[in-house]
Structure 1
Amino acid sequence: MESKIILITGASDGIGKETAKTLAKQGHTILMHGRNPEKTKSAYEEVKAESGNNKIEYLTADFLSLAEIRKFADKIKEKHDHLDVLINNAGAQFTNKRETTVEGHEKTMTINVFTPHLLTELLLPLLEKSQSARVVTVSSGAHKMSGKPDLSDIELKNKYSMAKAYGISKLYVIWIMRHFVKEMQKRGINNIAFYTVHPGSAQTSLGRESTGALGTRIIYFLWKVMMNSVAEGAAPSIKAAVSPELEGVTGKYYGLKGEEKPSEKYYTPENEQKVWDYSMNVIKPYL
């Protein structure tokens, strides 16, 4: 397999770290992102040791800050002249109290929707320089349980709940990445494929922010025994990132058993455009 330069966000633990390990063992150059410097360095050292691959780097950034994402992308551009694969793996659930970032945006929407949208836009110049680039974005089966989206209140200033914010953010990011396919056609960019994936219910630290309450922790503990392994959860991301059989394919959604269909219950081209336009308006100051 031809060696690729692959950036994986949220790679300091869970599915992101497992994805990094597997791809590093295949001989690719791996750029690992994490939020916490100590944790990210530790994950980097673990991946390097287990894979025997010296082509591993790590970078840190807080993806709840859109301004910091711009600086993060600039660092990658300084060190690399192209990028073959971007895996938008970083994501989070928060609490049942609605919280905003320093830039004034709801946290769940920021890290699950605006961040992958912004980072993808910022790294398009590097992806364009690849012979055949891919953008893989991790969504969730929870998008099917989001309920009807209120596109006049995308950041859930009204009727917020942790479950709704998470589910609907994972629906919106599918629409955003689907729209990127159309945008590439408009912009005359023909070498970048877009995929969204879901890991099933994998044993990760995704719910670290949302499991503060005792009742929620008990439910999470009981649910955890039914979850897939992290390796199983990482498989769709790995397949979408490097599988030769996907060459020339774009706009697809993959799960543990291969290609799946995301929920179309609330999808219309108009709704997709509204979410895209809203997100573009949020990220525009950082482009």
Structure 2
Amino acid sequence: MAPLAQQLILVTGATSGIGKVTAQTLAKQGAHVILLARSAEKAERTQHEIRAAAGHDRVDILLCDLSDLTQVRKAAAEFNQRYPRLDVLVNNAGLLFGKERQLSAQGYEMTLATNYLGPFLLTALLLDKLRQSPAARIINVASMAYRFAKPDLTNLNQERGYGAMRQYGNTKLYNILFTQELSRRLRTKGISNVVTNSLHPGVVASNFGDNAKGWLAKLTKLFRPFMISPEQGAQTTLYLVTDEAAGHISGGFFAKQKAVAVKHPFTTPTDAQQLWEQTEALVEQNFLD
């Protein structure tokens, strides 16, 4: 594993919560960090704060709303033009939306688009840069909320029976299955210098539920005092980025810096492959086929 001072690390959702803590901690350890964010104003403010804390200027901005697949393609093209490689991709961005079903620019349900489709497409488009690294890592922030998932491959877009918490759980399960299937395909292709793992950060007192309304918003605010801090929530992500042993594991799901079993009936190899194929069709991008 190369020293952090020699690594290029892209963190999505990097202007708040565990994403910001992750980016700042890695920058303070010398890494060249790229902040992927929706808001230029928040990104510039975060960039200034992290540069001041890290004591160096190697903190860059890449603007992108992950729910908009056109913006994802544009951001990936910009990254591929600006940088020679990518050592670590942290797919951290994730949101909980409200009880009313919302649609992305491409007409996909917003939770699906933001939490799953965008990160899937971004990873696909940056894979060549990851392969240029001697030892690359792809880290997908999922959640134990996968236990609430009731996935239906005929209804990925939740056109029938939409429920905010159920769809949030679905997307977190999809993140885990994406990680497992990506790991399998990397091995099948003989790509040994790229590993991928997913994780549960804990129930973090962040702003991820700010887009929710009604009882969901009230519930997240009610339980916020009992949640862990973003600093605590970032620890497993940081472990997967920096730990030497973690660089030799692929396809795992981690909580509290330890590998844990995923217990859900929708986690078979067949499910993962079918989900992958449907996702390729939705984002119109072949990925390791």
Question: Would you call these one fold, judging by a TM-score over 0.5?
Answer: yes
Gap runs ≥5 in structure 1? none
Q: 2:74 aligned with 1:71, yes or no?
A: yes
Would you say how many aligned residue pairs link Structure 1 and Structure 2? 284
The root-mean-square deviation of aligned C-alpha atoms, in Å, is 1.4
Structure 1 residues 285 and 175 mapped into 2: Cα distance closer, same or farther (>3 Å)? closer
CA distance in 2, matches of 1:208, 1:30: 26
1:220-239 correspondence runs (5 A): 220-239=220-239
Partner of 2:160: 158
Partner of 1:120: 123
**Structure 1 contact 109–169 (Cα < 8 Å) conserved:** yes
**Structure 1 contact 133–193 (Cα < 8 Å) conserved:** yes
Partner of 1:246: 246
**Structure 1 contact 83–127 (Cα < 8 Å) conserved:** yes
State the TM-score, normalized to the length of structure 1.
0.95
Taking only the aligned residue pairs, the percentage that are identical comes to 30
Structure 1 residues 183 and 265 mapped into 2: Cα distance closer, same or farther (>3 Å)? same
**Structure 1 contact 66–286 (Cα < 8 Å) conserved:** no
**Structure 2 contact 240–247 (Cα < 8 Å) conserved:** no
Tell me the secondary structure at the aligned position of residue 172 of structure 2. Answer: helix
Partner of 1:185: 187
Partner of 1:80: 83
Q: 2:200 aligned with 1:198, yes or no?
A: yes
- Among 109, 114, 117, the alignment partner of 1:111 is 114
Tell me the secondary structure at the aligned position of residue 234 of structure 2. Answer: helix
Shift of 1:124: 0.5
Gap runs ≥5 in structure 2? none
State the TM-score, normalized to the length of structure 2.
0.94
Tell me the secondary structure at the aligned position of residue 31 of structure 1. Answer: strand
Partner of 2:218: 218
Shift of 1:156: 1.1
CA distance in 1, matches of 2:216, 2:143: 19
Deviations 1:87-118 (A, max 9, x none): 00111111111111121111111111111110
Deviations 1:249-268 (A, max 9, x none): 11111112522222233221
CA distance in 2, matches of 1:2, 1:222: 38
Deviations 1:34-91 (A, max 9, x none): 1010011101111111121221111211111101101101111111110100000111
Deviations 1:158-210 (A, max 9, x none): 11110111001100111011100121123332210001011111011100111
The residue identity in structure 2 corresponding to 1:112 is N
Shift of 1:30: 0.3
CA distance in 2, matches of 1:182, 1:259: 17
CA distance in 2, matches of 1:236, 1:74: 29
The residue identity in structure 2 corresponding to 1:83 is L
The residue identity in structure 1 corresponding to 2:136 is A
Q: 2:147 aligned with 1:144, yes or no?
A: yes
The residue identity in structure 1 corresponding to 2:157 is E
Structure 1 residues 176 and 202 mapped into 2: Cα distance closer, same or farther (>3 Å)? same
